[in-house]
Structure 1
Amino acid sequence: FLHWTMRNSVRTHAAFTVPDDPKANEGLVSAAGLFKASCASCHGAPGVRPLPVMQAATPPAPNLSINAREWTDKQIFWILKHGVKYTGMPGWAAKDRDDEVRRMVAFVRLLPEMSPATYRSLTEVPGIADARIATCAGCHGADGRGRGQPDMPVLGGQSPAYLRAALEAYATGKRQSAVMANAAATLTPEDMTRLADHFAALPGVGRATPLGSTAAARIDRDGLPKVQLPACSSCHAPGKPYPVLAGQRASYIAQRLRNWRGDETVVDARKSQSTMPVIARRIPEDMIDPLAQYLAGR
């Protein structure tokens, strides 16, 4: 009876509350990394058995290589975001990160046909002896350039202080990301310092040629005073304690700006009033991609 009720509840909620684009096929590496760290112990993975203690739960976690076929993309999205009551299935561990949920929907959808070799290629970077660095490199790459994934930032060239502060913010929930919160939660302060120093020392951001429109250049230099949008370069400039954007992946910058903007159907007064969400909402929608391209190439 409980399972029947759950299935009906998921069908109903998914039909009326889930966005029409519940799956994102790009950025599977970060979804695979989170699945390996948080999901495989219960559900197993291609070539990986679930832990026996998790299969002894009531009810046991389903084998997604089989059960994923039973649900639509919208239904998987709803389950991932909200969890399943009276089971061990948690909801998504970060607010306002539907982009992460969409990537996990795409990953789960691929599990029935995924080979162990493909799974390993998504979750591992061979040849790294240091276990902590290897875990980070699984998503960020050995070179800190994000393995070519559109949702992954370039870490090389950022300041060690900024990267360490980012890890602390993810670990404490000040920055929202289920992927990074999971990764940062187990790190000691010494781990954070060592990892920040390692990835900051790699080549990456800071070397680029300007691209994009003159309007984007103007926003970077002067902002948009009429809508109280400050100049990007007033903070993102050499010597200031903010991330370096020159050489960053344009797709990542654009995605973060859109995440900060939030749901367009919600009034600003009910959205985050932190610095970057407020700034992102003042950028005209049609300028986000040109501005991201300009900043990445600056």
Structure 2
Amino acid sequence: MTIRITWLRALAAALVLGVAGMLFAWSGVMNLAASSGHWKITDWFLHWAMRSSVRTHAAFTSPDDPADATGLVSAAGHFANACSVCHGAPGVKPAPVMQAATPPAPDLAKNATEWNDKQLFWIVQHGVKYTGMPAWAVQDRPDEVRRMVAFVRRLPGMTPAHYQALVGEPDPASDLAACTGCHGVDGKGRGAPDVPVLGGQDPAYLLAALQGYASGRRSSAVMQQVAMRMQPQEMAADARRFAAMLGLDARPAAGAATDAEAARIVTSGLPAVQLPACASCHAPGKPYPVLAGQRATYIAQRLRDWRGDKNVVDARKSHATMPVIARRIPHDMIDRVARYLAGDPPQR
């Protein structure tokens, strides 16, 4: 007897299988406990699908410069605060409760070697579904992701001593322990090119910045991780302590560097392109950060980040002024203006 397979019969069989699957799921018989683990075939399929997805998306969407090794201090600080509890770190074991997840977080000292930098960038920025790997907390700070990629790339060969040197030894007697790992006990940023000097900054500005990071108005996954854990009175106290440190005031004042073109932008602006003077806002007594004596590499990088913020085209509508202003600074003047503000000598 021959059974003819028709489209109608195939559709009916698929419908029956679908209903049976829904009834099985509804019954609750399937064990979804993390302690039960995955079947080997399930584990293989999920990892195969994940690797295929990462490979494809990273090839088309990750930047060509996915790693930035100039900011390992801030990346290490964020890793210690947000990542090491799951993944562990050199000389630091992961939390057992996190390792009881299905699947457990991988040891990046081994796992990082399985991915190239573009793939690591995609994983860090977007996270992975059906795992405990979250996306980067803000999606408009690829500079932070690049620094984390460079840090993770170095984990396979990183010693516990090197890791602790990057994270910084916490001072148990200091109330600023959450901040000094990156910003230093003296508020000078530990020499890291991407970490701003906070010592000597206006306390009201520092407090407003912390409040902005905690609320999400200011964008930084690194700073949000710290600020969202702080109580209002703690923010105010930390702002006062950093403001009282010798930081900006201890560095050469703006004007020590003789660059006439940079000085003109800082003091007078460029009226022809509607670029206001930097000093008209960024000076003591103004509700904006003081830039005289700030680290040149930090100023230059922030200006470049703002120039790339294509979401802001009109400051009057968006209330975001700096992206518009940064685009009016001639590209070849960014480093020169930054060095002038820092008090560094011009490059020859």
Of 59-68 and 118-127, more deviation after overlay is shown by 118-127
Matches within 5 A, 1:203-218: 203-206=246-249, 207-209=251-253, 210=255, 211=257, 213-218=259-264
Q: Secondary structure at the match of 2:132?
A: coil
- Deviations along 1:213-233, one digit per CA (max 9) or x if unpaired, are 211111112211122111111
Cα RMSD for the two superposed structures: 1.7
The alignment status of 1:256 with 2:302, answered yes or no, reads yes
- 2:147 alignment counterpart: 103
Q: Give the unaligned 5+ runs of structure 1.
A: none
How far apart in 2 are the matches of 1:126 and 1:192? 18
User: 1:147 aligned to 156, 167, 190, which one?
Assistant: 190
1:227 aligns with 2:273: yes
Aligned residue runs from structure 1 range 77-88, under 5 A: 77-88=121-132
Residue identity in the other structure for 1:155:
L
CA–CA distance in structure 2, aligned partners of residues 107 and 119 of structure 1:
10
The answer on 1:73 being equivalent to 2:124 is no
Q: How does 1:36-51 map to 2 (within 5 A)?
A: 36-51=80-95
For 1:20, give the aligned amino acid: D
Corresponding position of 1:159: 202
Instruction: Supply the distance in 2 between the matched residues of 1:190 and 1:127 (Cα, whole angstroms).
Output: 20
**In the alignment, which residue of structure 1 is the partner of 2:41?**
none
- 1:22/1:74 contact within 8 Å kept: yes
On the 8 A contact 1:96/1:259 being kept in 2, the answer is no
User: Which residue is equivalent to 1:31?
Assistant: 75
- Partner Cα distance (2:88, 2:226) in 1: 19
1:28 maps to amino acid: L
Deviation at 1:212, TM superposition (A): 5.2
Q: Once the two structures are superposed, what CA deviation does each residue of 1:247-285 show, in whole Å capped at 9, x if it has no partner?
A: 11000000111111115xx58649966011111111111
Look up the match of 2:286.
240
- The answer to whether residue 235 in structure 2 is matched with residue 192 in structure 1 is yes
Give distance in 2, aligned partners of 1:98 and 1:294: 27
* CA displacement at 1:172 relative to structure 2: 0.7
Say which is worse superposed, 234-243 or 176-185, in terms of deviation. Answer: 234-243
Q: Distance in 1 between matches of 2:192 and 2:323?
A: 23
Contact 1:46 1:111 in 2 (8 A): yes
SS of equivalent to 2:70: coil
The alpha carbon displacement at 1:89 in A equals: 0.6
- Pairing 1:119–2:119 present: no
Deviations 1:80-137 (A, max 9, x none): 000101111111112321111111011101111111111111112354412x412211
Q: Name the structure 1 match of 2:335.
A: 289
Which protein is bigger by CA-based radius of gyration?
A: 2
Q: 3-state SS of the aligned residue for 1:35?
A: helix
What does residue 134 of structure 2 align with?
A: 90
Aligned pairs, how many? 295
- Match for residue 177 of structure 2 among 107, 129, 134: 134
SS state at 1:26 partner: helix
Partner AA of 2:304 in structure 1: R
* Structure 2 Cα separation of the partners of residues 169 and 268 of structure 1: 18
Partners of 1:73 and 1:105 within 8 A in 2? yes
The corresponding residue for 2:324 is 278
Change (3 A) 1:20 1:227: same
Q: For residues 117 and 197 of structure 1, what CA distance do their matches in structure 2 show?
A: 32
**How high is the sequence identity, in percent, across the aligned residues?**
66
> Which stretches of structure 1, 4 residues or longer, exceed 3 Å deviation after superposition?
266-273
Residue 203 of structure 1 aligns with an amino acid whose one-letter code is L
Unaligned runs of 5+ in 2: 1-44
Question: What is the SS of the residue equivalent to 2:69?
Answer: coil
TM-score, structure 1 length as denominator? 0.95
Partners of 1:95 and 1:260 lie apart in 2 by: 14
CA contact (8 A) 1:125 1:142 kept: no
